[in-house]
Amino acid sequence: MKIISLVLIELFFIQYNCFSQEYPDEKTVQGYKEIISLYPEDLVSHFPKEIAHEKVLITAFKYPKIQDLSYIHIMSILNDKEIETLKKDALLEAKAIYHFTDSCLMVIPYNYEEDSIIINTDSIRYCQNSNMLPISNIRTWGDFVPNFYKNATIFIFNAEKGCFLKNDYLSKSGVGLPNAWQHGYSRGIVIFKNYVLYWLDVW
């Protein structure tokens, strides 16, 4: 994959909102469009093209910056037809399917709220299984939907080792994963009922 050069933008933007008629606001919509445009299409192809007319509950994204993990996390609500279509497509596209209740998960040990690597936490079942693909540490955002972590399905569309941003924008010493995953990315979705959380993490 072609390594891209990104303009350094020191901007960290997180917003939470539950069923607000004024959300997403124009600033959020434009910020989302901007950050989506910074990445290669194959890394963000699973995200909605825009969120102006989406029922969005969570937007959390951080533009690439020096020696850190960058990410895009979006949670929205789809209607029954949309969620069924998404599930069918996800089953075909997924490289792996996991659940938060699995005994072995390779979770990126990163706290998005604090911009820091987590050394030890009960919320992460760290797994050294070489066949596992890393997933985003979505638990950072808390219990936003009852039974979400108990019953949600995790679809990993892809995760690859290597450098997918300019070196200046990659984490200096990884994000706490095994050495083979010092740099890389993970992308996919999590589905629970009519809720879907889209993620991309690059480090």
Distance CA 128, CA 76 (A): 32
Q: What's the pLDDT band for 129 if we cut at 50, 70, 90?
A: low
Is residue 169 in a domain? Answer: yes
Give the domain extent around 58: 12-202
Is residue 156 in a domain? Answer: yes
Average pLDDT, integer, range 110-127: 68
Q: Please give the pLDDT value at position 114.
A: 80
Q: Report the candidate in 150, 148, 158 with the shortest Cα–Cα distance to residue 197.
A: 148
Q: Among positive and negative, which fits the CA dihedral 59, 102, 142, 21?
A: positive
Is the Cβ–Cβ distance between 110 and 176 less than 8 Å? yes
| Full-model pTM | 0.84
Is residue 6 in a domain? Answer: no
Is residue 5 in a domain? Answer: no
Q: Please give the pLDDT value at position 90.
A: 98
Render pLDDT for 62-99 as a digit per residue (tens, 0 to 9): 877 777 889 999 999 999 999 999 999 999 999 999 99
Residue 16: exposure state from Cβ atoms within 10 A (0-12, 13-18, ≥19): middle
Is residue 1 in a domain? Answer: no
Is residue 112 in a domain? Answer: yes
